Amino acid sequence: MNHEKMFNIARKRGFLWPSFEIYSGVSGFTDYGPLGASLKNNIMQKWRKQYIAGEGFHEIEGPT
């Protein structure tokens, strides 16, 4: 499956939205849709549970 086909499936199902469709901005950037934001949060919770709580690592947040 190529990148364009995967992106179209994610967009149709509400995981990703092109930024320029929402904010009339620059094309080529994407925002998380409702399902994408939920998926991201679930992945982050699982990651934190595994590495921070389970293995005793510390989380550091910085600007990106």
Domain ranges of the chain: 3-54
**For residues 26 and 19, is the Cβ–Cβ distance under 8 A?**
yes
CA distance 48 to 42: 10
**For residues 61 and 48, is the Cβ–Cβ distance under 8 A?**
no
pLDDT in tens, the chain (64 residues): 788 898 889 889 989 887 776 566 666 778 888 899 999 999 999 988 888 888 888 888 888 7
CB atoms within 10 A of CB 17: 18
Number of helices (H), then strands (E), in the chain: 3, 2
